[in-house]
Amino acid sequence: MRHWTTESAAKIAAGILMGDSKLEVQGCIIDSRQAKGGEMFFALPGEKVDGHDYIESAWQKGAVLAVADQAHFQGEMAKPSVPEGKALLLVDSVYTALQVLAQSWRKELKAKVVGVTGSNGKTTTKDMIYSVLAQEFPVYCNKENHNNELGLPMTILNAPLGTEILILEMGMRGLGEIKALCEIAKPDIGVITNIGTTHMELLLTQERIAQAKWELIETLPKDGTAIINADDLYSAQKAKNDGHKILFYGLEGTFAEPDIKGSGLRSSGPLGTIFDVTFKQETLTADLPLPGTHNVLDALAALAVGTVCGVSLTKGCLGLRALEMSKMRLEMRQGCRETTLINDVYNANPVSMKASLNILKERAGQKKTLAILGDMYELGNSAESGHQDVGQAVALLGVNYLITVGKLATEIAQGARKAGYAAEQIMVTYSRKEAAEKALELLRSWESGTWVLIKGSRGMRMEEITALLER
């Protein structure tokens, strides 16, 4: 197997090639600034930015092939002059060409594909699977959470020659979306972390969310393997009627007997967790550099994938110890007045909010605690109850002070008050700047060493609060 040429890419995409047909191409970009040399640049049209305006910039920065919509250059719009040593591929749809080329590269790689989805923990689980499998194989996975109809095919096209296992996180907002991603990825192993209430806004019921997530398992080949959370009700229910090989993982085995089981969780350092893991009569101790029961469950899923792929439990545990996480997930930083900041701002829903609050209280010990919590999106009809549930958790856990950020998050404050949390322990704010100012004012009045959790949905950009508290 070798790299594609511009000519072979043109044949696969069924487009019209201009310029040099013998150039070697490897990888792809949709942002011209990311060119390093040899890539395909997909000139995707957008509402605010049109990739066709950056074709020449992509060539200048090192991309060798620009893929563009033929219709864009009709009428008065002249085709760009193709420089020497570059090529332009005109197609009916850049978006379709990206997916078709990804499908073809996935076949040529002949790599095993692990698909990962779920309402919570997809990216963390993907990172853990990568770390476990990297002990034995050349592996490649999505950067951060590039898990949609653009990010997934780009991940495949950027997988280098020699990749033996592709780990692909799959996101969705509605029915049919994971199925469409699977048509491109053709997964051999499917992992579902859990089936929660995220996406309720569009799918309306948890049963429909379960149906959408289960598209990953339904598209597996007959000899494929499903890795399922034995402590998740909807996952276990769906597994009962599925004909694939099922490998369960879990802690309690609430809804199914785990094939790979964790137990004996105990804290290790500021944010680490040690736990025992048992698989086929073998029990080992794993050292995970992350806190929380939910992260141990994700680690068990990763170890389960490892066993399916031939990675021993011993090497899998070594992989977990060497884990490197994607950014903005349970990052521990030092803030002003010797505060410990838990920067967990990549995304949020009621389940992950409550898990992070538990971590805040567990790891702070006798130190004071402050939770700065922002809006949670995509909860639909469950928005009010979901936010109030988080507020109730704040009260029940005994967090010392709560600052809410945003209109939806006012329901967190309401939930806390209903659960008996004192009004003087709550500050409601509507902007990141206001929240940070109130937090700084509060921290100055407390003794040093407070633990602070900052968390909210991605669109809230809560990391800006973290940055202000670091200063």
As a whole-number percent, the residues of the chain with pLDDT over 70 amount to 97
Q: 441 vs 332, 445, 468, CA distance in Å?
A: 21, 7, 12
pLDDT higher than 90, residue 205: no
User: Which CATH number does the domain 331-470 belong to among 3.10.450.50, 3.40.50.720, 3.30.830.10, 3.90.190.20?
Assistant: 3.90.190.20
Please, what sign has the CA dihedral across residues 142, 148, 152, 153? negative
Report yes or no: 124 and 325 within 8 Å, Cβ to Cβ: yes
Closest CA to 120 of 280, 289, 347: 347
CATH 3.40.1390.10 domain position(s) in the chain: 4-92
Is 121 part of any known ligand binding site? Answer: yes
Query: Cα-atom radius of gyration of the chain, to the nearest Å?
Result: 24
Q: Is 57 annotated as a binding residue?
A: no
pLDDT on residue 76: 65
Domain(s) labelled CATH 3.40.1190.10 in the chain stretch across 111-321
The CATH code belonging to domain 111-321 is: 3.40.1190.10
**pLDDT tens profile 446-465:** 999 999 999 999 999 999 99
- Give me the residue label for tokens 């997809």: 122
What's the CATH code, domain 4-92?
Answer: 3.40.1390.10
Q: Rounded to an integer, what is the distance from CA 451 to the centroid of its chain?
A: 25
Closest CA to 451 of 358, 387, 389: 358
Q: Which residues of the chain does CATH 3.90.190.20 include?
A: 331-470
Category of 233 on φ-ψ map: left (φ > 0), alpha (ψ -120 to 50) or beta: alpha
Average pLDDT, the chain: 94
118 marked ligand binding residue: yes
Please give the C-alpha separations between residue 234 and each of 173, 185, 200, 237, in angstroms, as whole numbers. Answer: 18, 25, 15, 5
At 204, the pLDDT band (50, 70, 90 cuts) reads: low
The reply to whether 343 sits in an annotated binding site is: no
Q: Say which residues have a Cβ less than 8 Å from residue 238's Cβ, sequence separation at least 6.
A: 195, 210, 214, 217
327 pLDDT band, cuts 50/70/90, is confident
To the question of whether residue 122 is assigned a binding role by annotation, the answer is yes
Contact present, 367 and 360 (Cβ < 8 Å): no
Cα 440 from Cα 458, distance rounded (Å): 23
> In Å, what is the CA distance from 54 to each residue of 6, 51, 61, 172, 315?
19, 5, 11, 29, 45
303/320 Cα distance (integer angstroms): 9
